[in-house]
Chain A
Amino acid sequence: MLGLVLVVLVVGAAALAPVLAPFDPNRQFNDGLSAYGMPRPPDPTYLLGTDLLGRDLLSRILFGARISLVIGLVANGVAVAIGAVVGVVAGYFRGWLGTLLMRFTDVMTAFPALVLAIALAAILRPSLWIVALVIALVNWVYVARAIYAQVLAIREQPYIEATAALGIPTFGVLLRHVVPQLTLSLLVFATLGISTSVLLEASLSYLGVGVQPPTPSWGGIINASQSYLTTAPWLVLFPGLAIIVTSVGFNLFGEALRDALDVGGQR
């Protein structure tokens, strides 16, 4: 329940950002910085204070929710799609194709995810969609493994074997009998994975290889403000909270969904 509340909160903030935000998130206010460049602490004008360019932090966090959610949804959607195809194909056909695919999946897990992401971001110019793609390329592996295990189990079911005996074409069997059994798990992955994707986006932006400025991104705000931790802690605290709330929300929501639908699947 808490999960649903948090998810609604974050989605609401993202959807209504233009209405809720007191200012333009990219506007640099002259009174937002002191002469020596110190940001302003929270006060009645700037409710959560200003950032290192004198921009309103609350507005940036609200608009940042859009970036996080878009990346979370797109990246995870792509990851689930890739993972599902690989898992189904490997699990259903097994043989050399299945072995090849799953070995490849193993190799991908041995890859340090962030190094891969940073390298890709360096080659492909970082933009919103590239960041999403990079995250998808890192995350599909877990989906593929879980789906693979499930398909193996489904394949053992007597009626699937029977369909083969009846001469129904493979593609039809997959589409009509295997995939429907996976819908619920995929739905759970689509929810739970958003949390993982949001966290990875935050880490990439924290390292400075995420979305490009001035696009507001929670990890990016923390990256720029980290050295002001002792003198302007609000610049780390509030975006940090936003990340946690989003991630906890989708995690709890996904878990609840899993329990309610009673489907398996692990991290």
Chain B
Amino acid sequence: MNRRSWILAWAVVMASASAAFAANSKVVLTFQNDISTLDPAIGYNWDNWSMIQAIFDGLMTYKPGTTELQPALASSYTVSDDGLTYTFDLRQGVKFTDGEAFDAQDVKFSFERMLDPATQSPGVGFFTGIEGAQAFIDGKAKDVSGIQVLSPSQVRFTLTAPDATFLNKLALNFAFAVPPQAVAKWGKDFGHHPVGTGGFSMQEWVPGQRLVLVKNPDYFVAGEPKVDELEFQFGVDPNVAFLRLQRGEVDILGDGIPSSQFAKVMSDAKLKQQVVSSDQIETSFVALNTTMKPFDSVEVRQALNMAVDRTQVLRVINNRAGAADQILPPTMPGYNPDYKGFPYDPAQAKQLLAKAGYPDGFSTELYTSNVDPNPRIAQVLQQQLAQIGVKVDIRSLSPSAVIDAAGQGKTPMVWSGGMAWLDDYPDPNDFWWPILACDSAVPGGWNWARYCNKALDAQGQKADAMVQLSQHDARIALWQDVFTQASQDAPWIPLFNERSYVMHSPRMGGIGFKVAGIYTPVNYKEIEIVQGQ
């Protein structure tokens, strides 16, 4: 055999090896990077968020395909009139997949484990409103007094102040139930040996290569999950994954459609049918540091808003987003459809700059993550702002370096792409307290605009005290007013609201692909094989 035929023979062998793809209800997904952990108290990344939701459950969840809350491990709940106590009746007969029975004690255990500083959970901040939580975190109390086990099937939470989104917070991964025995057994490595009550249990995880989840036959939600096995393959380049999906070897592209192939997919009638798009509850923005000259001037901030042509920015990301006109995305309750923001108008922008005392513009810095496409978007902004005389130097750094610099308040302008802000739960207050309130305008906080408006903060607090279901509409109206005023104050240049485009093989379907702002990229319990091959 000469050299050329030897290579050919090898190629054939390899091709046939990879074609061995079973057509059962095993679903293959690809990701470029390995996930970091499956510990619900710790995992807070785009990729592992929904995997954890497939393995664990909390007291609350969302009705599949919607943003409507419903009980999960709880069977029912009551809220006191003052909005301070929540009492949950637990579902009977639920077991963790290692056989341990689930009861109210496990709920308390799971919360205290998550709040324990030794766990280093990024979710602690959501739950410091539970009575006694701060004392427990500070080591001044042995347990959290606000979480009471009333009976094995009943648990009560007491809050220090009413919080209309407390039930949403209970649906976050950080609030999911973990089994004490398995946690004791694995200790800090529990995240690599997860055991939950969920629709799937972990069968195998070879770091950097693959993760296999299998269906939990005893799952308490009838009819879920709808497939037998999920195999996540790691270390697969998005372009490779795309080619393999076309060959039928992959069912879902975890990292999405590669941008280089997007035009091709969307102009191909057949491929287009394999794409499910949905609006994310997300706003990508440029934060303008309101405590720094010249961005302390509202005219300057508004001028910058008018200088940006969003259609040009969108083209750089293949138009995979909608242009944003205000802080809240259209999919978030409280979005103001009558408010049109600042339309593109460079001439008026120049006038405003002149009025603010900068007729010749000024020089400033724009920080951006160095992960593509963010440096490119920054360059588009740079060229557009140059047209009104604003000279921008781009600082393209690793995401962690940008987050730190912005958190220290050292950045005049920050492009949020790849770092912020995607909702934790579908309620407008998640777009206020962590990123626009006075309390978050502190060193290490995520209020990169250093925006602080005490009147709006007070109005937000008033809204969040309206916990009863009957007050819901009035509460949202209050928040809508807060965000409309803030948008007009222009601490940000809202650029776009991302849409997610999930591509799957022709055989896949189900409401799990409808993201509805909760799942990333899909709800694994609600995807199914709709057509045999």
**Chains A and B share a contact (CB less than 8 Å):** yes
A residues in contact (CB < 8 Å) with B: 26-28, 30, 33-38, 52-53, 122, 125-126, 208-209, 212-214, 223-224, 227-232
Indicate whether A228 sits within 8 Å of B260 (C-beta atoms), given known contacts A36-B318, A122-B398.
Answer: yes
Which residues of chain B come closer than 8 Å to A209, judged between CB atoms?
370
Which residues of chain A come closer than 8 Å to B380, judged between CB atoms?
28, 53
**Stretch in contact with the other chain, from B168-176, B261-269, B329-337:** B261-269
Tell me whether A227 and B319 are in contact (CB under 8 A): no
Q: Does B297 contact A (CB under 8 A)?
A: no
**Stretch in contact with the other chain, from B14-22, B218-226, B389-397, B464-472:** B389-397
CA separation between A212 and B397, bound complex, in Å?
9
Given contacts A33-B315, A53-B379, A227-B259, 8 further A-B contacts (CB under 8 A): A30-B312, A37-B263, A37-B319, A213-B376, A213-B379, A214-B379, A214-B394, A227-B258
Chosen A-B contacts, 23 in total, with CB atoms closer than 8 Å, are A28-B312, A30-B312, A34-B263, A36-B262, A36-B266, A36-B318, A37-B317, A37-B318, A122-B397, A125-B395, A125-B397, A126-B396, A208-B375, A208-B396, A212-B396, A213-B379, A213-B394, A227-B260, A227-B372, A229-B260, A231-B260, A231-B264, A232-B260
Smallest CB gap from A231: residue in B: B260
Q: Does B230 contact A (CB under 8 A)?
A: no
Interface contacts (Cβ under 8 Å), in number, total 80
Which residues of chain B come closer than 8 Å to A213, judged between CB atoms?
375-376, 378-379, 394, 396
Tell me whether B239 and A37 are in contact (CB under 8 A): no
Which residues of chain B come closer than 8 Å to A122, judged between CB atoms?
397-398, 401
Interface size class, chain B: 20 to 34
Q: How far is the CB of A189 from chain B (nearest CB, A)?
A: 32
Q: How far is the CB of B38 from chain A (nearest CB, A)?
A: 28
Q: Counting chain A CB atoms within 10 Å of each CB, which of B312, B315, B316 scores highest?
A: B315
Tell me whether A224 and B262 are in contact (CB under 8 A): no
CA separation between A26 and B387, bound complex, in Å?
13
Which residues of chain A come closer than 8 Å to B318, judged between CB atoms?
36-37
Q: Which of B367-393 contact A (CB under 8 A)?
A: 370-373, 375-376, 378-380, 382-383, 393
Smallest CB gap from B242: residue in A: A230
Indicate whether A224 sits within 8 Å of B264 (C-beta atoms), given known contacts A37-B317, A213-B396.
Answer: no
CA separation between A53 and B374, bound complex, in Å?
12
Which residues of chain B come closer than 8 Å to A37, judged between CB atoms?
259, 262-263, 315-319
Q: Does B248 contact A (CB under 8 A)?
A: no
Which residues of chain A come closer than 8 Å to B401, judged between CB atoms?
122
Tell me whether B376 and A52 are in contact (CB under 8 A): yes
Which residues of chain A come closer than 8 Å to B395, judged between CB atoms?
125, 212
Q: Does B238 contact A (CB under 8 A)?
A: yes
Q: How far is the CB of A138 from chain B (nearest CB, A)?
A: 20
Tell me whether A53 and B266 are in contact (CB under 8 A): no
Q: Counting chain A CB atoms within 10 Å of each CB, which of B238, B260, B317, B375 scores highest?
A: B260
Smallest CB gap from A125: residue in B: B395
Q: How far is the CB of B72 from chain A (nearest CB, A)?
A: 39
The residue from B238, B375, B383, B394 contacting A224, defined by CB atoms under 8 A apart: B375
Which residues of chain B come closer than 8 Å to A228, judged between CB atoms?
259-260
Tell me whether A26 and B375 are in contact (CB under 8 A): no
Q: How far is the CB of A8 from chain B (nearest CB, A)?
A: 32
Tell me whether A227 and B239 are in contact (CB under 8 A): yes
Tell me whether B316 and A52 are in contact (CB under 8 A): yes
Q: How far is the CB of B385 from chain A (nearest CB, A)?
A: 13
Smallest CB gap from B263: residue in A: A36
CA separation between A64 and B496, bound complex, in Å?
32
CA separation between A229 and B260, bound complex, in Å?
8
The 8 A-B pairs at the shortest CB distance, nearest first, are namely A36-B263, A228-B260, A231-B260, A208-B370, A37-B318, A214-B379, A213-B375, A37-B315
Tell me whether A38 and B382 are in contact (CB under 8 A): no
Indicate whether A212 sits within 8 Å of B394 (C-beta atoms), given known contacts A36-B318, A224-B375.
Answer: yes
Q: How far is the CB of A228 from chain B (nearest CB, A)?
A: 4
Q: Which of B16-44 contact A (CB under 8 A)?
A: none
Which residues of chain A come closer than 8 Å to B264, judged between CB atoms?
231
Q: Which of B300-352 contact A (CB under 8 A)?
A: 312, 315-319
Indicate whether A53 sits within 8 Å of B258 (C-beta atoms), given known contacts A38-B263, A213-B378.
Answer: no
CA separation between A125 and B266, bound complex, in Å?
40
Smallest CB gap from B267: residue in A: A36
CA separation between A125 and B318, bound complex, in Å?
30
Smallest CB gap from B371: residue in A: A208
Q: Which of B104-141 contact A (CB under 8 A)?
A: none
Which residues of chain B come closer than 8 Å to A33, judged between CB atoms?
315-316
CA separation between A228 and B397, bound complex, in Å?
22
Q: Which of B263-277 contact A (CB under 8 A)?
A: 263-264, 266
Q: How far is the CB of B143 from chain A (nearest CB, A)?
A: 42
CA separation between A36 and B311, bound complex, in Å?
11
CA separation between A180 and B380, bound complex, in Å?
53
Smallest CB gap from A38: residue in B: B263
CA separation between A122 and B401, bound complex, in Å?
8
CA separation between A214 and B238, bound complex, in Å?
26
Which residues of chain A come closer than 8 Å to B261, judged between CB atoms?
231
